[in-house]
């Protein structure tokens, strides 16, 4: 399996409105942290997550989190 590109070694902190989002998992998207379809032709798929209310989130930018689209601090070990 290919390794995802590390976009940054810190999370992307955003306040997002309720809705469904697709976080880039390959690291190739020009619209980081969200998927723009750049994964096409790879084994990567975007990570889907849904927010029920407006919320401040820390999205993983290293693409190695074990907590889905959200930062779990794994970047500190890379």
From the first residue on, what is the mean pLDDT of each consecutive set of 10 residues in the chain (78 residues)? 92 98 97 97 96 98 96 96
54 in Cβ contact with 15 (< 8 Å): yes
Buried b (16+ CB within 10 A) or exposed e, 16-36: eeeeebbbbbbbbbeebbbbe
What pLDDT is attached to residue 5?
96
Largest CA distance in the chain: 35
What pLDDT is attached to residue 55?
97
What pLDDT is attached to residue 1?
63
What pLDDT is attached to residue 74?
97
């Amino acid at each position: 399996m290919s390794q995802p590109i590390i976009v940054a070694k810190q999370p992307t902190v955003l306040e997002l409105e309720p809705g469904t989002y697709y976080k880039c998992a390959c690291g190739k998207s020009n619209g980081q942290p969200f998927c723009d379809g750049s994964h096409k032709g790879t084994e990567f798929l975007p990570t889907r997550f849904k927010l029920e209310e407006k919320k401040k989130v820390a999205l993983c930018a290293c693409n190695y989190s074990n907590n889905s689209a959200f930062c779990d601090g794994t970047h500190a070990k890379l």
